[in-house]
Structures are given as C-alpha cells and as structure tokens.
Amino acid sequence: MTALSAARATITKPGGKLKRLPMAASTTIYAGGMVMRNADGKAVPAAAGVSNRGVFGIATETKVSDGSTQSYILVRYDVVAKLVGSGLALADEGQMVYAADDQTVQSANGANLPIAGQLIEYISSTAGWVGVGPSFYRLNSRPVVLKTFPLLLETIANGDLLTGYTPGFVGFVEKFWAEVTAPATTAAKASTLNLEIGSTNLTGGVLSLTSANMTPLGAIVAATDITAANEFDADDTISIEAASTTAFVEGSVNLVIQMRMR
C-alpha cells in the first residue's frame, strides 16, 4: 500500500481513549491514519523515521498544521483497529507489527519503521486487527539505556577505541556525548570520534574533542545530531572510532551512548 492522501474509514472495536497530541509543523494527518510521534515527540503520519517513538493511535480527524503556531490533533489510542496488512501470517498473532505507512502494517521490521502495535487477530495476509497504544506494547516511553565508557584522553589514537560492545537488545542510538572528568590543559590537542554499528558509520553522531572544550571539570560536549543508520539488532556490535587525532597529554572523559529499546 501507499501512504494516505485522503481520510480513511478505519473500523475500530469499542473502547479506546482520546488524547490531543501536538503536531509537527507543516504536516498533514488524515482521519483514520496511524499517528506516530517523531523524535521530538510531535505527531506525524506513521512512516519510517529516525529515533521515532512509535505509533500512538488512530487519527479521529484530518488536520493540517501550519509553521507558525502549534497545532494539535485528536487521536484515539488503546484501541483495536482493522488495518491494511502486508505479508501478514497467522503465526504473527500476538506479535508486534510495524507501520510501513500510515495505513499498512507488516511483521517485518524495516529500517527506522515505527512499531504499530500488537497483531490481535489475523484476518488475511492483507488485513488484521491491531491493538494500537500503550496498553498493547511498551510505548513511547520505551526504556532508555545509557552505556558509559571511561577514557583517558592521552590514550586516544586514530582507529577503534572500542570494539565489540553488544547491547543485547533491539533498539537505536539516540545520542552520544562526553563528560569531562579531568580537564585537558595543554593547548591545540584534538580528536574526532564517531560511532559504528557493525562496520557502518552512523549518519551524524560525530563528537569533536578539543583542548578548548575539554575543560572545565564536568563540561558536557555533545556529538552532532544522529540522523540515520542508527538502528541495531540484539546481536549487533557498536564501536567507537577516532580520527584526525593530535595526541592529548592529559585529561579524561566518560563517553556516553544513549540508546532506546524497540
């Protein structure tokens, strides 16, 4: 299927709750479509999106947000809805399904696809009843995992600083930063760090360490925004790689990777 271009008469079973969600700017959401929260927590039509918060519910109205004032949309959640399917099977009953677009669910988890909910009842390969909302899965407050790696700055050399860290769950990397635990005082030292999943660099997430920002004690240095290639499976490994290094002679940091479970 393709994304909605008009309102859809989505059938739901009795029940559910209503909530107004803030919409992303300059966005159109159609009545009957699945509504997900993006990385900023704003409502958008369900679609692949980096660091999305999953499908929250079904739109009860068609709404167009503008770019100057905050718009809101009324969404029905904790509801069982009859949705279009793609490649569904009886064996998928009880399992999580993913939104291929704002009207279609599938059992396969593609890159950056939001969780749509739980397949409650299989109808056919092209249709199913799906429980959408926090009652049916570990919703938008899916657990955040922080992993900290202490690092002496003087040990940084170009190449891998960390290899083979396996989170052991399905999720995505949200943020990467450094916390200064001992300042660097010698001028003109620097190194650029990035994250890899397997052998693939994340898009974004570049952390630039310099003598200037490695002080004072407690300073926080954030990596650039992570925009793609940040999803991992339970058996994937995460590495930290250094480049463009001018060797530090003192100082230390904690490198922190923030991940969110799927």
Pairing of strands 79-86, 104-106: parallel
Nearest to 259 by CA among 226, 213, 211, 214: 226
Residues 126 and 149 in one domain: no
Q: How many domains does the chain have?
A: 2
Residues 82 and 179 in one domain: no
Q: 146-203, pLDDT tens digit by residue?
A: 999 999 999 999 999 999 899 998 888 989 999 999 999 999 999 999 999 999 999 9
94: in domain: yes
Is residue 139 predicted with pLDDT exceeding 70? no
192: in domain: yes
Residues 122 and 225 in one domain: no
Q: Which of 132, 165, 185 is the last residue of a domain?
A: 132
190: in domain: yes
9: in domain: no
Distance from C-alpha of 141 to C-alpha of 83, rounded to nearest angstrom? 24
Q: 93-102, pLDDT tens digit by residue?
A: 988 899 999 9
* CATH number of domain containing 250: 2.60.120
Residues 160 and 253 in one domain: yes
Domain hosting 121: range is: 17-132
Cα 25–Cα 31–Cα 33 angle in degrees, nearest 5: 85
Q: Which of 107, 132, 157 is the last residue of a domain?
A: 132
Residues 227 and 169 in one domain: yes
* CATH number of domain containing 103: 2.40.300
Residues 149 and 257 in one domain: yes
51: in domain: yes
Q: Which of 83, 98, 132 is the last residue of a domain?
A: 132
- Regarding pTM above 0.85, the answer is no
Q: 233-244, pLDDT tens digit by residue?
A: 889 999 999 999
Residues 48 and 127 in one domain: yes
